Structure 1
Amino acid sequence: MDPTLLWPACAPAHLTADDTGRTRPAAGWWQALLWRPELAPIDQSCHAERRLHAALLDDPLQPVDATRLARLRDADARESYGHFLAFRDAVQRAGTLEGWLLGLFRSGRIAVPPVFIDLVVQSVTWRLLADDQDAIHWRAAELLFRPQRVTRHEGRVLLGDRDTLDLGRDTQGFGDLGRLLAEAQAPLKRLEMTVLAPEQGAAYFARAAQPAQGTNFLLDLTHTLDRDLGHGLHFTLVHRHSGLGALAVVLTRWVQQLLGVKVTIEPLQRVDDPHWRWHLGLDAESTALLNDLYEGREVETTRQERLISLFRLRFADPAEMRADLAGAPVWMGLMADAQGVVKLKPQNLLLNLPLARDA
C-alpha cells in the first residue's frame, strides 16, 4: 500500500513535514487545489480568469492584487479566487496546516469556506495515518472530514459515507447517467455497500486511491459482543476490529499532533463516574446531550437512542491538565442528528480540552 496514492483529493504527495513534524504544503499542493471544480476554468471563463489560473499554476504563491482579481468578469469566479488567495496567504503566514487550523478555530471567526477546512483536516489526518496499514483506521478517520449516515442492523451499528449513500439512492450509483436512466425508469443495479473487515483492506485502499471521494465500505461501530453460553454463563468481548476502537486511535493521534499532549481514548457505553467533572461532544448533538445529562435535565428516550457511543479520555500526564481537574477523566460523546447523520467536529478536541496552558 502506497500511502501517497490514497485520498488523492488532498494531494498527499505534496505534503511535507517541518522540523517539528507538522504539515507543510508544497507548491504542488496549491496547484492541485487550482484544479478543483470551484477554481478550474470552464467554457464560459473569461480570458482574465484563464490567464490568472495559468499564472497561478506556474507560480501558486505569487501575489495577486485586488486590481488583477477585479478583472475577472464572473462574480462567482472572483469570489472563489478571493477565498482561495485569502486561504493560501493565511496558511503561509501560519507556516503549517496544523498552525492554520489552531489559529482559525481559536479565533472564533470562521469565515473560510468549509471545503478548505475539510481539505486541511483530511491532509493532516492523512499524515497521521501514512505509516498505518490498517484499513479500518483509515475508514474511521474519514469521520473527521466527511459526514456519515448511521443505521442499525441485527444489533450492529453501521456508518456509511453520506454522500455516497445519497448518490446511490438518487442515481443508483451511476451519477448523471443514473439520473437520466432513473427518469426513464430503466432498471439499474443497486449500489453495493460492504461492511469493512480486515481481509478487505486491499479493496478499501484501492477505492481510497480513486479520484472520487467517498467509499462504499461501511464502518462497523459495534464495540462489544455479548455471548450467552447458557446455564447462567454470560460474558462480553471487545470487538477486536471495532470501528469505535479505530476512531479512538485516530482521535488520540489527532490530539497529540495538534496539541502536543499524549492522551488515551477508550469507547464506553456509560458514564460510571460519580465525580463527573468535564465533558465535550464530538458533534453538536452530543454536546447538547452531555450538557443536559450533566445538568440533570430529563432527556427523551428517542434522543438518547441517537447516542452512538461515549468515550473516556485520560491525559498521560495529569500535569498537562488544569490544576483543578488534574487526573480526572474527560467524557466525550458521538451522536447522530434527527436525520441519522453523524457530523464529527474534530475542532472540539482542539478547543474544549482542559489544558493547563489555557488556564
Structure 2
Amino acid sequence: APQCTVTQSYPINLCDPYFGIYWGCNSGDLRVDLVSCTAPVDGATPYTVTGENVVTTTRDESQCAGIAADSSCQQDTETCTDSDPVTRIVDGIAVTQPCWAWSRSYSCAQFTEAQDCQTLVDTPGCKLVREDCLAGEPCRTWERVYDCPVPDQPANSNQFICDGDVYCIDGSCETIQREANDEFKDAVVALNAMNQARREFDPDNLTLFKGTRESCSSKVFGILNCCKGKGFPLIPGIQLLVALGCSREEMLLHQKDAQGLCAYVGTYCSSSFLGVCLTKRKVYCCFESKLSRILQEQGRQQLNKPWGKPKTEQCSGFTIDEFARLDLSRMDFSEVYAEFTDAARLPDELQATQEIQQKIEDYYARARQ
C-alpha cells in the first residue's frame, strides 16, 4: 500500500533439511518483510500498533496583517527577537525552532496635498496649458505645464537709414518718407530656412531638421534642479552643481535651451515610492539652430504631428514630403528676426549722412575745376 514502507527483510529457503530429512521443496528467492504503515490497510491485520505525536508549526502574523494589507505601507526589515532556547516543550512535546518571535518594521506614506506651482500661478501672463500624470494609480503626482511670456528684452537704440532716403543738393538735404516693407524679413527667413535645410539634410534617411534627444532630472519638491531652461539666465558655478549631483550633459542642455536651441517634449517620472514621484526627468529635442527649432515646433502643428511620449521620443526630422507640405508664411519667426537684421546692419545714420554730403561736395569741387 502507498502508506507502507519495508523496514526489515528476512530471506528464507524451504529446501533446507529439517531434522535431517528433506520434506520436499520449491526453489526460488523467498523472504519475509516487516512493513510499517502510517494508516490501516484494508484486509490486513497489524502485528503491532504504535502511536506518535506530530507537531505542525505555523507563524502567527495576525498582529502585522493590517499593516501588510495597507498599500501605502512597505516592509523594511524583519528581525528575530526570541531565539533562545531553540528547543522548547509544547504540550509535553519537544519542539525545535531557530526563531520563536519576530519584529517587522514598515514605512507608511501619509499623503498630504502640496504644490510648488504658486510662482507660475502668480506670474502675469502665465496660462495653464495641461496637466500630466507622473506617478500613481490613481494619480498622486501631477505636473502642470504653463505657457509664460519671455521677460522683455532691452530695446535696441540703433537707428538705420537706407540708400536713397536722403537727397542733398547744394548742402540742402531732404529726407524721403517711405513706408516700411514688412515682407523683407519674411523673405530673409525663408532663404535662411532653405539654406538651413540644405545643411541639415540627412541623405541616409532622407529627412530634414533632425534633432538630438537630451534630458535632465530634478527632484520633485526638492531644492536641486538641474533643469532651468529658456527664460532663465545661465547658471553660474557649474562645477558646484556638478558636485551636488547634476551632470555636465545636463548643464550643457541648460545652456542650449537658454539659447533657444531646444524644444520641450515632456516629463516622465524616473523614480517613485508608493505611487509618489520622487525624481522627474524632462526631455528636450535640441537642434543646430534656433530656426530649425522653430520649424520643428510650428511645423509639427501644421502637420498635426505632436511630439511622442517623453520616454520614447527620438527627435526625428521631417521627411521630404512633410517639409514640402509646410507653409512658411503661416509661421511666426519674430524670435529670429533680430539675428538676421543684426547680420545685415547698416552704418550709423549720422556717419552715412556725412559721407553722402562729402561725396556731393567733392563732386561739385571737381566740376568747378
Structure 2-normalised TM-score?
A: 0.21
**Greater share of residues in helix:** 1
Structure 1-normalised TM-score?
A: 0.21
